[in-house]
Amino acid sequence: METPSKRVEIIPAKRRAMILERLRRDGAASILELSEAIGASASTIRRDLEQLTEGGYLERTHGGALFVPPLQATFEHEPSLNAQLQHRQKRAIGALAALRINPRESVIFDTGSTVLEAVRAAAERQIPLTAVTNSIEAASLCAACPTWRVIVPGGTVRQGSQMMVGEPGSSFFGTIHADLCLVGAYAITGRILTDASLEVAALKRAMIRSARRSILLIDSTKFRAPSFSAFCDISAISEVITDDGADEEQLAALRVLNVKVTVAHLGANGE
């Protein structure tokens, strides 16, 4: 007698990210299609769809859901879900970014899931450097590197995240001169970089100003309508690293502005 196959349990954030990725690709899907593709029960998928709809990610249809890109300027992804979205792309971008770091440099690591992948990749290189970050999660990873000096500027932990904003961190960045800043953005629109939060945008602005060169790490979904608060013009960025899902016309427009653009290519196995 054959033993019934068991479904592999997937953490909720990863499962919901898989749903969003599938709907982004196909536009719409039924509960049955999502259940079969992801390996979760129909009731679990139904609950996930309800939560994603309440969060503003989707629009429910009869028996399924429709992907609706959030257009609200102040819309922010839930942090644990955002970390799972475009994860392979973010990891590839982070690996390239880590190669831009030279031994004994001082590096500002912005918050965000793509920059966090750069921290992980840089830690594997085990080169000496000074790391400055307002991310509690990034600081913890940095602290595990015996050759790294880690500086946390301080501030108030933003609700629902592992990010510190405000004082004394904001003022601190006005007192240092770092070699490199690895920064993310909620959106890039033409030549303007934006974030959904005023306080986060202000901190990113301070980070970029305090570094000799800044590299923007963004996955291809970040080429979209502007978010609420602008924090810099693309002229302040030395290089943009993105993935091969980005539209070539958008990348060409950046190159016309004399911005170096590097594309992380995912192989057939997604690496």
Whole-structure pTM value: 0.79
- Listing DSSP states for 39-70 in one string gives T--HHHHHHHHHHHHHTTSEEEETTEEEE---
CA distance to 41, 99, 186, 200, 268, per residue, from 197 (Å)? 36, 30, 9, 5, 37
Domains and CATH numbers, the chain: 12-68 (1.10.10.10), 80-264 (3.40.50.1360)
- Burial status of residue 52 (CB atoms within 10 A of its CB: 0-12, 13-18, 19 or more): buried
How confident is the model at residue 75, as a pLDDT?
67
Write out pLDDT tens, residues 181-204.
Answer: 999 999 999 999 999 999 999 999
DSSP alpha helix (H) spans, the chain: 12-26, 31-38, 42-54, 79-82, 87-98, 113-125, 136-143, 169-172, 198-209, 248-256
Assess contact for 89 and 63: CB atoms under 8 A: no
Q: What is the pLDDT of residue 137?
A: 94
Low-confidence ranges of the chain (pLDDT < 50): 1-8, 268-270
**Selection from 111, 131, 135, 139 nearest residue 201 by Cα:** 111
Q: How far apart are CA 171 and CA 173, in angstroms?
A: 5
Q: By C-alpha distance, which of 81, 88, 111 is closest to 203?
A: 111
